[in-house]
């Protein structure tokens, strides 16, 4: 038999190294688009809320570090740290519920300066002798109804009466405080209902019931804003009312509902605050409107409307409560607390902006380098 001789071309092909299988250009492009999409989301409007929330968490960490440095004797006790953490959450619970309603109003392009007065009016009305005779259910129903009713009045004046929200709610602030003082005869009304009073002292699995109420309101607010048509309409109305109207949204009715929602949150807060103090008076919930507005703004809610997050507002409230707690354990006076709190708020916002800008620039440079 004759031997088969290899040709020179076959010998060269055998000596060549093994090559990798061909790469599909479509797969490479898809992977690149996915990575670019994630980076674009983080740097764009979609990731703005996440970036701001991370900045707020950084501020909270900084406050905790300050507490550890100034009071290492207290923070060295793990049981005290847990108890103090729960105290901060309890302190944030009432204002947090009010802030959820305020966040919806501000996203919708409005403002509500009467929330503190609504809380006071609902609390005073719910603790009258006549109301308490109906038991805990009657007191809760009264507080919720009063809050909802006053919110509806605000909404009617603003949406159908065409009053400026600032003027309408400022007038309601004065009127509601005056009505609360008239009902209570300028006296403190004691709550004799043990069921209501126990709301502030009851713990479930070691966590105060007030914190559970705050969590329930926050979750409901988040779902309403992010997973329902009502939330999308709120953003649309706040961003551009005229465009929302042309898109078929009843702007007046929606504005009315926003203020009613804010009033309902005030009614819930009134029961919580009454339980904490076991009483109610016309001067309760003083300046809650400023705390709620500031917490919402720090949390990323745009004051002109059209943008905001419930989680950001919650973090803003917790920051306020942490600052107050930090001042208390260091024995600072109320006057000093107010001055330092204002400075810390401004500094925190500035640090957030610088952090976001630097991070965005870093990601942009990294993207250019990789491409």
Residue 368 included in any domain: no
Asked whether the predicted pLDDT for residue 339 surpasses 60, the reply is yes
In this prediction, residue 140 has a pLDDT band, given cuts at 50, 70 and 90, of very high
Asked whether the predicted pLDDT for residue 346 surpasses 80, the reply is no
Sign of the Cα pseudo-torsion (285, 287, 290, 294, in order): negative
The answer to whether 266 and 120 have CB atoms below 8 angstroms apart is no
Residue 63 included in any domain: no
Cα 140 to Cα 368: distance, rounded to the nearest angstrom: 59
Higher pLDDT, 230 or 358: 230
Residue 51 included in any domain: no
Cα 247 to Cα 24: distance, rounded to the nearest angstrom: 44
How many domains is the chain partitioned into structurally?
1
Higher pLDDT, 286 or 352: 286
Nearest in space to 143 (alpha carbons), one of 123, 116, 128: 123
Cα 93 to Cα 209: distance, rounded to the nearest angstrom: 10
pLDDT digits (tens, 9 = 90+) for 217-275: 999 999 999 999 999 999 999 999 999 999 999 999 999 999 999 999 999 999 999 99
CATH of the domain at 188: 1.10.3470
Residue 101 included in any domain: yes
Compute how many other C-beta atoms are within 10 angstroms of the C-beta atom of residue 304. Answer: 10
In this prediction, residue 40 has a pLDDT band, given cuts at 50, 70 and 90, of low
Residue-number span of the structural domain to which 87 is assigned? 75-329
Residue 44 included in any domain: no
Cα 123 to Cα 272: distance, rounded to the nearest angstrom: 9
Residue 279 backbone phi and psi in degrees, to 5: -165, 175
Question: Which of the 8 DSSP states describes residue 331?
Answer: T
Q: What is the pLDDT of residue 334?
A: 76
Cα 120 to Cα 273: distance, rounded to the nearest angstrom: 9
Residue 4 included in any domain: no
DSSP string across 62-81: HHHHHHHHH-HHHHT-HHHH
Both tokens of 292, joined, read 């709620």
Residue 49 included in any domain: no
| Strand 279-280, strand 189-190: pairing | antiparallel
- The answer for residues whose C-beta is within 8 angstroms of residue 95's C-beta and 6 or more apart is 269, 288, 291, 292, 295, 317, 320, 321
Residue 67 included in any domain: no
- The answer for residues whose C-beta is within 8 angstroms of residue 206's C-beta and 6 or more apart is none
């Amino acid at each position: 038999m004759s031997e088969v001789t290899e040709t020179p071309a076959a010998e060269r092909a055998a000596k060549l190294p093994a090559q990798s299988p061909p790469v599909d250009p479509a797969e490479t492009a898809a992977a690149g688009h996915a990575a670019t999409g994630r980076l674009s989301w983080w740097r764009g409007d979609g990731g703005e809320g996440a970036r701001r929330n991370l900045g707020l968490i950084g501020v909270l960490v900084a406050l905790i570090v300050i507490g550890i440095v100034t009071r290492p004797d207290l923070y060295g006790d793990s049981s005290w740290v847990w108890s103090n953490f729960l105290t901060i959450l309890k302190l944030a619970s009432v204002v947090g519920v009010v802030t959820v309603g305020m966040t919806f109003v501000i996203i919708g392009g409005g403002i509500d300066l009467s929330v503190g007065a609504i809380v006071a009016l609902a609390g005073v009305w719910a603790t009258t002798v006549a109301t308490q005779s109906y038991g805990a259910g009657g007191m809760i129903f009264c507080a919720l109804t009063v809050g909802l009713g006053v919110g509806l009045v605000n909404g009617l004046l603003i949406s159908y009466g065409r009053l400026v929200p600032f003027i309408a709610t400022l007038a309601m602030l004065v009127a509601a405080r005056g009505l609360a003082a008239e009902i209570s005869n300028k006296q403190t009304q004691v709550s004799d209902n043990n069921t209501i009073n126990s709301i502030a002292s009851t713990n479930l699995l070691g966590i105060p019931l007030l914190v559970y109420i705050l969590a329930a309101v926050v979750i409901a607010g988040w779902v309403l804003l992010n997973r329902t048509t009502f939330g999308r309409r709120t953003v649309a109305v706040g961003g551009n009312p005229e465009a929302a109207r042309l898109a078929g949204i009843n702007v007046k009715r929606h504005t009315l509902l926003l203020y009613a929602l804010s009033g309902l949150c005030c009614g819930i807060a009134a029961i919580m605050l009454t339980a904490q103090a076991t009483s109610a008076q016309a001067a309760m919930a003083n300046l809650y409107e400023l705390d709620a507005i500031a917490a919402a703004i720090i949390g990323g809610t745009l004051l002109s409307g059209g943008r905001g997050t419930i989680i950001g507002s919650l973090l803003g409230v917790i920051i306020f409560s942490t600052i107050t707690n930090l001042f208390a354990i260091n024995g600072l006076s109320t006057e000093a607390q107010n001055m330092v709190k204002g400075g810390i708020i401004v500094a925190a916002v500035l640090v957030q902006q610088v952090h976001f800008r630097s991070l965005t620039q870093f990601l942009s440079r990294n993207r250019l380098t990789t491409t």
